[in-house]
């Protein structure tokens, strides 16, 4: 039996959902995937930190209603979060980094990833900051320490757009993409099509948990810009930074704009895109656009996401799926762990041969 010790950095919705998946599915994973997960540490700004080399009961973590600093009541626990100690000292094989995204410099998540890789530990993360702002450095650090830096969930949550494009579309000649990469803005536009004003639509998105208390990153396109950077750099060989991507959100759209588009056979969508020019440059942008109703992205409704890849051999290949949600994003972490396990199994077989 293969067992991976895992440390959770951040215990909000995503890593809490991952712990729930561990509690419910470990026995099935052992049979179906060939490994189990053993949570040996957790660190969280609100709850504190805990390190337990023998493992922490995943179901207890999920079901206990801890107060602020509540990890202090656990053996090996403290009321204070100590992310660096947990990352460097916990006997973990894998660090699951699921803290908040900082679009300016990626911190503290970049440091979390750096500490883990320097310590010879794999990293799986859903955090856009380290991937958009420091991927090259972190990939180099991972290779130097013979570990993996995985981040499938940084673009479309559990929908595997990165691996699909890199592996399934390998050789198809991906020349660009355009996509609906933010479920909150897509939900807001859909509600405006039903007659809600912008502010009321945002408020409804907040009530349903789609939008944060401060929805700026979603509705002004900043979240999409980070995802465009990630996709362009990963799939088109770019070296873009967020400031290289022009960005306009949806807050300037009015009900009159929405209604006029509908009468003329169009729908407004917030689109992030990037394309290779004939000269080898990458042109990238985020902006609201009027799409004809027969466009492959026009029918993507609610909080769903979609990306349409432009390929030389197949034309447009469109992938649609959930771009948010705790379970969906936790699945992205699991898919990264599966990739680590598969790579490890391949290495072991080669060494045995």
Lookup: tokens for 277: 């020019």
- CA distance linking residue 333 with residue 136, whole number of Å: 20
The β-bridge partners of 7 are 41, 95
User: Do 143 and 149 contact (CB within 8 A), yes or no?
Assistant: no
Where are any strands of DSSP class E within the chain? 2-9, 35-44, 48-51, 77-78, 94-97, 122-125, 149-150, 174-180, 246-247, 266-276, 282-292, 304-311, 315-322
Among candidate residues 230, 227, 229, 208, the one with its CA nearest the CA of residue 217? 227
- In whole angstroms, what is the distance from residue 295 CA to residue 286 CA? 18
Say how many Å lie between the first and final Cα of the chain, rounded: 21
How many Å is the Cα radius of gyration of the chain? 21
Tokens found for residue 65: 């209603």
For residue 227, indicate whether it is catalytic. Answer: yes
Which of the residues 121, 128, 227, 269 is marked catalytic? Answer: 227
What are the catalytic residues? 227
């Amino acid at each position: 039996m293969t067992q991976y010790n895992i440390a959770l950095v951040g215990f909000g919705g995503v890593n809490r959902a991952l712990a729930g998946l561990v509690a419910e599915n470990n026995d099935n994973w052992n049979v179906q995937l060939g490994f189990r997960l053993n949570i040996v540490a957790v660190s969280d700004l609100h709850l504190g930190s805990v390190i337990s080399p023998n493992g922490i009961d995943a179901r207890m973590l999920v079901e206990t209603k801890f107060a602020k600093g509540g990890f202090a009541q656990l053996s090996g626990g403290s009321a204070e979060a100590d992310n660096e100690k947990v990352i460097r000292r916990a006997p973990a094989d894998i660090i699951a980094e699921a803290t908040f995204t900082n679009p300016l410099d990626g911190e503290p998540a970049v440091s979390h990833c750096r500490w883990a890789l320097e310590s010879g530990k794999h990293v799986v993360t859903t955090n856009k900051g380290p991937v958009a702002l420091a991927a090259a450095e972190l990939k180099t650090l991972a290779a130097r320490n013979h570990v993996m830096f995985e981040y499938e969930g940084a673009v479309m949550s559990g929908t595997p757009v990165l691996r699909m494009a890199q592996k399934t579309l390998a050789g198809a000649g991906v020349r660009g993409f355009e996509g609906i990469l933010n479920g909150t803005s897509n939900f807001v536009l859909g509600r405006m099509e039903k007659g809600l004003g912008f502010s009321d639509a945002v408020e409804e998105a907040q009530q349903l948990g789609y939008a944060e208390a401060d929805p700026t990153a979603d509705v002004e396109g900043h979240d999409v810009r980070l995802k465009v950077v990630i996709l362009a750099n990963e799939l088109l060989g770019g070296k873009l930074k967020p400031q290289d991507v022009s960005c306009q959100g949806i807050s300037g759209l009015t009900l009159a704009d929405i209604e006029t588009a509908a009468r003329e056979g169009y729908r407004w969508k917030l689109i992030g895109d990037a394309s290779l020019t004939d000269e080898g440059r990458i042109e990238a942008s985020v902006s609201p656009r009027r799409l004809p109703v027969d466009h492959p992205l026009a029918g993507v409704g609610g909080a769903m996401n979609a990306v349409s890849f432009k390929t030389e051999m197949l034309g447009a290949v469109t992938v649609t799926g959930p771009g948010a949600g705790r379970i969906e994003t936790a699945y992205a972490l699991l898919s990264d762990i599966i990739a680590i396990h598969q790579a490890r199994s391949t290495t072991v077989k080669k060494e045995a041969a």
